[in-house]
């Protein structure tokens, strides 16, 4: 089973603008990732271990975002195409 670590990095820009970036690291062992967690905490980063279900949710959200065209589909034509 692969261990997955989710690292949140906050970058602050001029005055009010706040940008947030994230990184997902996959490792072969939990021990290696725990070393990275220790380092991240030392430099003030937040960390969180995530499970496969959460990773699937992220992938689904990305697929939905990528698939958006802004166009509407005729439901009857869509259902007819599914049936054929």
46-80 per-position pLDDT tens digit: 888 888 888 888 888 888 888 888 888 888 998 99
Distance, CA of 24 to CA of 2 (rounded, Å): 12
pTM (two decimals): 0.46
Residue with tokens 């990184």: 23
Q: How far is CA 81 from the centre of its chain?
A: 33
């Amino acid at each position: 089973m692969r261990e997955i670590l989710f690292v949140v990095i906050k970058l602050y820009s001029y005055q009010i603008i706040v940008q947030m970036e994230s990184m997902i690291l996959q490792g072969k062992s939990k021990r290696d990732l725990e070393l990275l967690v220790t380092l991240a905490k030392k430099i003030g980063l937040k960390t969180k271990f995530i499970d496969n279900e959460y990773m699937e949710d992220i992938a689904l959200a990305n697929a939905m975002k990528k698939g958006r065209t802004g166009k509407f589909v005729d439901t009857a034509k869509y259902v007819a195409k599914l049936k054929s």
